[in-house]
């Protein structure tokens, strides 16, 4: 009788599982211990390996990330809508500002055209300048000067006079000049002429006591204004006459006297003039921007220069 070999007993499942899991647990423990020992945080390094739970991947771990992405997309969409709304609002503001500026510009243009028309209608005629005049923006001595009109020039004037200044029209704009230097009559060729150095037969004896500039003034006035009756020059006094630096042109007519005084003033640079006095008023080169200035009363017509034009030179 053949003896059958005994069948080996089947190893229980628990034992087999222990054989497989044992090394894995040991390897896992070794890896975990190495990781913990390399971790820079000392507090974690002191925790026993067996007390550190193993992380497990779970499908639920990806849910917050997906939700976060959806939230970011929603925020970006909201921001885009806000930017679009702001852009539309800005465009409306810019359009309103542009329309407002355009309306204001049109209103200014209409007002300027209206003023120009009114100014043209206010012109009453023309006047001639009797001296070089500063053209001002306002009827005031300290107003800005924008131009100078030469003597003997014809200009358009209105009937408006303020503070001694006459309103004139230049290139369609209202300007102002000193009214007393305007004349209805055109200045004669002699009074508007330039400087002449021709010898003068009137009071010719005064030349010997005059400096060169004073002699030139004497001859120039004599050539341009034959209505001057006589001249005064050097005399014993403690002023410009005493040094031969002054000339007196005797003239009785006030209008002619002012034409003469303004003519000398207009040619001050050519003649070397430093000051002009007439009708109790004085003009000096040093304060030329102030025009004619009033003088104190000296008691008589001659002392106040009502009967002659006084000219001093350098």
Contact 277, 249 (CB under 8 A): no
The pLDDT assigned to 170 comes to 92
The pLDDT assigned to 44 comes to 45
Opening angle at CA 266, ends 262 and 271, nearest 5: 110
Is the model more confident about 268 or about 9?
A: 268
Q: What are phi and psi of 75, to 5 degrees?
A: -65, -45
The pLDDT assigned to 115 comes to 85
Model confidence over 249-261: pLDDT tens digits? Answer: 999 899 999 999 9
Average pLDDT across the chain, whole number: 80
The pLDDT assigned to 61 comes to 47
Which tokens sit at 17? 């599982």
Model confidence over 104-153: pLDDT tens digits? Answer: 999 999 998 888 888 889 999 999 987 767 899 999 988 988 888 877 88
At 11, the pLDDT band (50, 70, 90 cuts) reads low
Asked whether the CA dihedral 282, 287, 293, 296 is positive or negative, the reply is negative
Contact 257, 279 (CB under 8 A): yes
Is the model more confident about 149 or about 215?
A: 215
pLDDT value at 24 more than 60: no
Question: Rounded CA gap, 246 and 209, in Å?
Answer: 10
Contact 241, 232 (CB under 8 A): yes
Q: Which residues does 246 contact at the CB level (< 8 Å), separation at least 6?
A: 214, 233, 239, 240, 310, 311, 312, 313
Q: Considering only 80-89, 103-112, 160-169, 215-224, which range has the smallest mean pLDDT? A: 80-89
Q: For the chain, which residues make up each domain, given as ranges?
A: 66-120, 122-187, 190-313
Alpha helical stretches, state H, the chain: 13-38, 42-45, 63-121, 189-192, 212-224, 254-266, 268-271
Question: Rounded CA gap, 275 and 11, in Å?
Answer: 141
Which CATH number among 1.10.510.10, 3.30.300.30, 3.30.70.2740, 2.30.30.40 corresponds to the domain 122-187? 2.30.30.40
Q: Considering only 27-41, 171-185, 267-281, which range has the smallest mean pLDDT? A: 27-41
Which tokens sit at 240? 């410009």
Q: Considering only 49-53, 96-100, 125-129, 209-213, which range has the smallest mean pLDDT? A: 49-53
CATH assignment, 190-313:
3.30.1380
Residue owning tokens 């004896």: 205
Question: Rounded CA gap, 179 and 87, in Å?
Answer: 60
Share of the chain above pLDDT 90, in %: 45
Closest CA to 133 of 103, 80, 170, 104: 170
């Amino acid at each position: 009788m053949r003896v059958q070999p005994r069948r080996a007993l089947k190893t229980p499942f628990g034992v087999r599982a222990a054989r497989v899991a044992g090394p894995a647990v040991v390897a896992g423990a070794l890896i975990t211990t190495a990781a913990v020992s390399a971790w820079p945080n000392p507090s974690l390094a002191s925790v026993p390996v067996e007390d550190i739970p193993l992380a497990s991947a779970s499908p639920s771990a990806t849910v917050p990330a997906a939700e976060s992405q959806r939230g970011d997309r929603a925020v970006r969409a909201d921001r885009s809508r806000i930017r679009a709304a702001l852009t539309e609002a800005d465009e409306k503001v810019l359009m309103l500002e542009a329309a407002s500026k355009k309306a204001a510009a049109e209103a200014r243009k209409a007002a300027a055209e209206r003023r120009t028309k009114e100014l043209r209608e206010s012109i009453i005629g023309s006047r001639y300048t009797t001296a070089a005049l500063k053209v001002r923006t306002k009827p005031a001595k300290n107003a800005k000067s924008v131009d100078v009109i030469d003597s003997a020039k014809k200009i358009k004037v209105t009937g408006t006079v303020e503070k001694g200044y006459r309103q004139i029209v230049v290139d369609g704009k209202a300007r102002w000049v000193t009214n007393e230097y305007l004349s209805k009559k055109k200045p004669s060729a002699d009074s508007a002429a330039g400087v002449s150095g021709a010898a003068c037969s009137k009071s010719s004896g005064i030349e010997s006591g005059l400096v060169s500039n004073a002699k030139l003034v004497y001859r120039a006035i004599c050539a341009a204004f034959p209505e001057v009756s006589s001249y005064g020059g050097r005399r014993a006094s403690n002023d410009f006459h005493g040094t031969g630096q002054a000339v007196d042109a005797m003239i009785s007519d006030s209008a002619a006297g002012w034409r003469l005084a303004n003519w000398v003033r207009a040619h001050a640079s050519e003649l070397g003039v430093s000051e002009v006095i007439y009708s109790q008023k004085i003009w000096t080169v040093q304060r030329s921007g102030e025009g004619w200035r009033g003088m104190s009363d000296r008691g008589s017509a001659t002392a106040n220069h009502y009967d002659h034009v006084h000219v001093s030179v350098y």
